[in-house]
Amino acid sequence: MTHVMILEDDGASLEALAKILMEYSENVCVHTASSYDEAKELLNTDIRYGLFLLDVNLEGENREDIGGILFAREIREQFRYTFTPVVMITAVGAMEMQAYRELHCYQYIMKPFLPEEVKEVVKKVLAKERQEEEPFIVVKRDGVNYQVRCTDIRYIEAIHRGVCLHLRGEDWNIPYMTLKQILSKVPEGMFLKCHRMFAVNRREVEYYDTVNRIVKLKNCTDTVEIGVTYKAEIGRLVSG
């Protein structure tokens, strides 16, 4: 669930933005504020926001007002929001560069805004959050560093002078890395070492066969050997 704060003093615009966001995805929870003080109260709760939509001007016709920018500064002063997307909503073009330079804004939307513009911003933010939620490791292959999502690794095999990552659809040989080293990079508990040469992704396991000492993986013909010294431990895992 992505929590979004909208700070907008115009009631019609506030209602329109909230409606667009709520209709876009059931994974979005909208929190609204019509003033600087209301926004501060929301900011000081235990809620962790994944996106801020801030109106630059919070005093109606007063074009000198930059209440939204001032609030954005408060957001950036909190360590947990150092890189959280902040989108400025403005009808004053001169405000754009100031917000971008000072506050590292994610994007700006000019009034009158179109629903498609708002939806596109939310789409990008949600995609970014999903990507960040998926753990990954960085490996070097053919002299190039690659990010490999841990969820794409079915199992890891120790090979001569390296390891082989058995991914969905292909295998990657990674030289000069041991099984122990790569297991130290993945989330704790995600992979199970079942042999001195193998570790399996627990999410990819269809079943453990301790009699024949194999691990059957989901949706593929691969099986992974269970080492003699690991049989008892895996037996306890299966029975427990």
Query: Is the bond preceding 115 in cis, omega lying within 30 degrees of 0?
Result: no
Taking alpha carbons only, the member of 208, 228, 210 closest to residue 218 is 208
pLDDT of residue 228: 95
Q: Are 15 and 43 in contact (CB under 8 A)?
A: no
pLDDT of residue 61: 56
Find residue 175's DSSP bridge partners.
162
Task: Say yes or no: 230 and 150 in one domain.
Answer: yes
Say which CATH number the domain at 153 has. Answer: 2.40.50.1020
Q: Secondary structure of the chain: what % helix, strand, coil (to 5)?
A: 35, 35, 30
Q: Looking at the whole model, is its pTM more than 0.85?
A: no
pLDDT of residue 182: 94
How many domains, the chain? 2
**Residue stretches of the chain with pLDDT short of 70:** 59-65, 92-102, 129-134, 239-240
pLDDT of residue 121: 84
Helices (H), 143-219: 179-183
Task: Say yes or no: 94 and 151 in one domain.
Answer: no
Which among 90, 115, 133 is the end of a domain? 133
Phi, psi of 60 (to 5 degrees): 55, -115
